[in-house]
């Protein structure tokens, strides 16, 4: 992930964007400065595999989940990823209350901020 996302977190993102999942993914990838990214299904069994791909290829991995599973996915990512892996959460990107946060996993463990279970979120992992 680039310094764009690191410097933007946490922040409020003004949006005049059309609603839609595709737009949210595009915005999340742009915030991450991701020249290369992959929208991946995040089965908890694949987290380490996708983290290895992100580290090895420099390819940001993006995940979306049904909002009511946001906290469970966040918990699985924080428990499974290596301490020096960057984890970003961008929620409500097409809404007035859009928010982003990006930290190393070790920092997330010190200040847990699980996303709510009502707002759509995009999770990103990378270097």
Residue ranges and CATH numbers for the domains of the chain are 3-126 (3.30.950.10)
Please list the residues that pair with 62 across neighbouring strands.
39, 124
**The dihedral formed by the CA atoms of 56, 42, 62 and 54, expressed in degrees to the nearest 10:** -10
pLDDT at 77: 92
Residue 58 pLDDT: 84
Q: What is the pLDDT of residue 108?
A: 93
pTM score above 0.95: no
pLDDT of residue 7: 39
Q: Which stretches of the chain drop beneath a pLDDT of 50?
A: 1-19
Q: How far apart are CA 31 and CA 23, in angstroms?
A: 12
């Amino acid at each position: 992930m680039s310094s764009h996302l690191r410097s933007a977190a946490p922040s409020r993102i003004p949006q005049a964007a059309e609603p839609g999942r595709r737009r949210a993914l595009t915005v999340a990838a742009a915030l991450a400065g991701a020249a290369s990214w992959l929208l991946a299904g995040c089965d908890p069994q694949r987290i380490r595999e996708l983290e290895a791909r992100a580290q090895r290829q420099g390819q940001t991995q993006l995940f979306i989940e049904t909002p009511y599973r946001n906290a469970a996915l966040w918990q699985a990512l924080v428990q499974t990823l290596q301490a020096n892996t960057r984890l970003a959460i961008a929620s409500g990107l097409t809404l007035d209350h859009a928010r982003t946060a990006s930290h190393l996993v070790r920092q997330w463990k010190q200040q847990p901020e699980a996303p709510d279970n009502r707002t759509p979120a995009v999770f990103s992992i990378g270097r």
